[in-house]
Amino acid sequence: NFDELESKTEMFETGVKVIDLLTPYVKGGKIGLFGGAGVGKTVLIQEMIYRVANNHDGVSVFAGVGERTREGNDLIEEMTDSGVIDKTALVFGQMDEPPGTRLRVALAGLTMAEYFRDVQKQDVLFFIDNIFRFTQAGSEVSTLLGRMPSAVGYQPNLADEMGLL
């Protein structure tokens, strides 16, 4: 209910000093990591997963939308090696899978995160990699269904799909 919502802002301490100082995160908020290939986005994600598991006793959910098989395998190995695989849920819709699968992976990950938050009462860090591929999969599904694209080429229900997330 709306009257049960709390309006206080609580900072999420990542333990990564440069993030906590320059771009602090708010608990319950949303952030985006943007950068080219090889700049360290995955390394930062892995570090955040590790710190949530060890410092906050929380759970991380990673939804890989359109990931390469190698990237998913590397992430699983890293989580296993660092000892946080039991505090991590991973779901993938790989690059070579049908667009419907890739579209639903982000929503499946969100459902997992909501389960940990609402049923297990745990703090959850939810990652979607890559939101553009989610949008792209939605566009492919829309084309397969014969829907007329918008003036800029995106599917007509893009706002609805993003709203679900």
What are the residue numbers of the active site?
41, 67-68
Q: Which residues pair with 24 in a beta bridge?
A: none
48's CB contacts (< 8 A; 6+ apart) are 14, 16, 60, 125, 127
Contacts of 125 (CB under 8 A, 6+ apart): 48, 49, 52, 58, 59, 60, 61
Q: How many residues does the chain have?
A: 165
Phi, psi angles (nearest 5°) of residue 88: -135, 135
